[in-house]
């Protein structure tokens, strides 16, 4: 699930760095820190390599709605007997929920705050929302469907901590 879009990249230099370079996510941007003494001729290749590595750790960070739908389809085939929503898309207006499913229209919306989480956490949320297409309420049957994804309980714990972190960060 790769995307051709690349997030903004900030390239910084550090006089303290002698040999190593690093890259990390800072919100929706990738920050690359290079040694100040690195030759200009080597910088572009180093930046491209580090950005590629960082993107590999979070491939869904710039994923399109189509890529999200393809990911959901793979999960549905593996864990939920191939159930399909009418549509699935990233949304920026969900600040209290990770995802939502409207039974009447069979539409799933996924908070774009999940672009920053590990793949298995996003997968757990997708399985949760897809399970609502088979069982609308959080019944024991629903919990059994969600539990088919092996890391669902672990993802709940991750999301509780992530939510707390987002609240504290403001």
Secondary structure class of 10 (helix, strand, coil): strand
pLDDT at 3 over 60: no
Same domain, residue pair 95 and 164: yes
Same domain, residue pair 159 and 82: yes
Whole domain around residue 93: which residue ranges? 63-169
Same domain, residue pair 54 and 68: no
Same domain, residue pair 93 and 41: no
pLDDT bin (cut points 50, 70, 90) of residue 2 is: very low
Query: DSSP letters along 96-147, please?
Result: S-SEEEETTTTEEEEEGGGGGS-HHHHHHHHHHHHHHTT-SS--HHHHHHHT
Which residue's entry shows tokens 């100040």?
36
Distance CA 29, CA 49 (A): 16
Q: Quote the number of domains for the chain.
A: 2
pLDDT bin (cut points 50, 70, 90) of residue 5 is: low
Same domain, residue pair 117 and 42: no
| Rg for the chain, CA atoms, rounded | 19
Average of per-residue pLDDT across 21-49? 85
CA-based torsion, 86, 71, 156, 163: positive or negative:
negative
Same domain, residue pair 72 and 91: yes
Same domain, residue pair 71 and 55: no
Same domain, residue pair 46 and 68: no
- Tell if the pTM clears 0.85, that is, is over it: no
Same domain, residue pair 17 and 89: no
Same domain, residue pair 94 and 18: no
**Does residue 89 sit within a domain?**
yes
Sheet containing 99-102: which strands, arranged edge to edge?
Answer: 87-91, 107-111, 99-102
Same domain, residue pair 49 and 83: no
pLDDT in tens, 46-105: 998 888 888 776 656 667 888 899 999 999 999 999 999 999 999 988 888 999 999 999
């Amino acid at each position: 699930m790769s995307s051709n879009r690349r997030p903004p990249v900030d390239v910084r230099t550090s006089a303290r760095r002698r040999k190593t370079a690093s890259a990390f996510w800072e919100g929706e941007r990738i920050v690359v820190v290079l040694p100040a003494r690195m030759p200009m001729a080597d910088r572009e290749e180093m930046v491209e390599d580090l950005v590629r590595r960082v993107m590999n750790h979070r491939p869904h960070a710039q994923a399109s709605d189509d890529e999200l739908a393809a990911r959901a389809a793979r999960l549905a085939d593996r864990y939920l007997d191939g159930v399909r929503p009418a549509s699935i898309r990233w949304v920026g207006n969900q600040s209290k929920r990770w995802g939502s499913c409207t039974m009447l229209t069979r539409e799933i919306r996924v908070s774009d705050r999940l672009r920053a989480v590990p793949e298995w956490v996003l997968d757990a949320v997708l399985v949760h929302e897809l399970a609502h297409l088979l069982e609308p309420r959080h019944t024991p049957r629903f919990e059994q469907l969600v539990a088919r994804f092996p890391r669902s309980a672990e993802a709940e714990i991750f999301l509780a901590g992530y939510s707390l972190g987002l609240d504290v960060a403001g």
